[in-house]
């Protein structure tokens, strides 16, 4: 009674140490005597994963968690704002068509096939100051919010195309100066000219913002205040 005896050997002492040959309990992971590796009843090593397998498994779990978090974040942005109505969708398509017709194929493709449009702020946009009243883009989620001003102030599809072209640059990961500079330098190609649009509030607004954000485009002429792209 005083001696601690093991359970019947056939049932529990089924693992042999590869080092000292001691028979260990079936639940043992290392040899009780010498800490050596154990082999099971069928002669196979106990089923401990190798370090490489463990690292791989942990990396896979980590990647899966990251993907789940990113997807959750993305869907929270999408569902926390309203989609465009049919008329608004049509208006956007017309503006994209202008871009394609004028040779901005990459931007048009991005805007048409890889962008989710919303008509009001998602929770993230609502928590940060707005860049302008027309649109906002969440990069790299390719979500674009088009505010009511986008549908009311522009004179036509060309002006809406100019706004979308700016936002398309953000969809490509470009920052504010790059987006303003690209549109300003390409306004002639787009057909968005001073002659035709100088009275438009969109023209006036975007010209002022471009001057503020990309001042080096406005240092030409005798007074060094002129537009260098003209």
Task: List contacts with Zn ion (CB under 5 A).
Answer: 131, 176, 179
Residue 105 contacts residue 96 (beta carbons within 8 Å): no
- Identity of the residue, 16 or 169, whose beta carbon is nearer to Zn ion in the bound complex: 169
Tell how far CA 174 is from the center of its chain. Answer: 13
User: At what angle are helices 157-171 and 86-101 packed, to 10 degrees?
Assistant: 80
Shortest CB 64 distance to Zn ion, Å: 34
Residue 219 C-beta: closest distance to Zn ion, Å: 22
Q: How far is the CB of 166 from Zn ion (least distance, A)?
A: 6
User: Of 131 and 156, which has the nearer Cβ to Zn ion?
Assistant: 131
Q: How far is CA 150 from the centre of its chain?
A: 24
The rounded radius of gyration (Å) of the Cα atoms in the chain is: 33
Shortest distance in whole angstroms from residue 182 CB to Zn ion: 10
Question: Closer to Zn ion at the Cβ: 24 or 138?
Answer: 138
d(CA 136, CA 132): 8
Structure-token match 């979500």, residue found: 143
What residue is closest to Zn ion based on CB? 179
CB closer to Zn ion out of 162 and 179: 179
């Amino acid at each position: 009674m005083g001696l601690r005896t093991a359970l019947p050997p056939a049932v529990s002492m089924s693992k042999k140490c590869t080092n000292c040959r001691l028979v260990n309990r079936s639940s043992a992971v290392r040899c009780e005597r010498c800490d050596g590796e154990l082999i099971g009843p069928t002669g196979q090593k106990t089923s401990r994963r190798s370090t490489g397998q463990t690292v791989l498994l942990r990396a896979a779990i980590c990647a899966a968690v990251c993907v789940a978090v990113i997807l959750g974040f993305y869907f929270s942005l999408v569902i926390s704002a309203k989609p465009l109505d049919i008329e608004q969708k049509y208006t956007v398509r017309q503006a994209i068509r202008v871009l394609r017709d004028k040779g901005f194929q990459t931007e048009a493709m991005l805007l048409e096939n890889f962008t989710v449009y919303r008509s009001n702020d998602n929770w993230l946009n609502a928590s940060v100051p707005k860049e302008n009243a027309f649109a906002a883009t969440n990069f790299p989620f390719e979500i674009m919010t088009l505010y009511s001003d986008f549908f009311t102030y522009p004179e036509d599809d060309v002006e809406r195309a100019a706004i979308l072209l700016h936002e398309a640059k953000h969809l490509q990961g470009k920052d504010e100066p790059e987006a303003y500079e690209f549109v300003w330098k390409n306004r002639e190609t787009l057909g968005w000219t001073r002659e035709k649009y100088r009275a438009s509030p969109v023209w006036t607004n975007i010209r002022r913002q471009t001057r503020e954000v990309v001042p080096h485009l406005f240092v030409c002429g005798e007074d060094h205040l002129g537009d260098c792209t003209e």
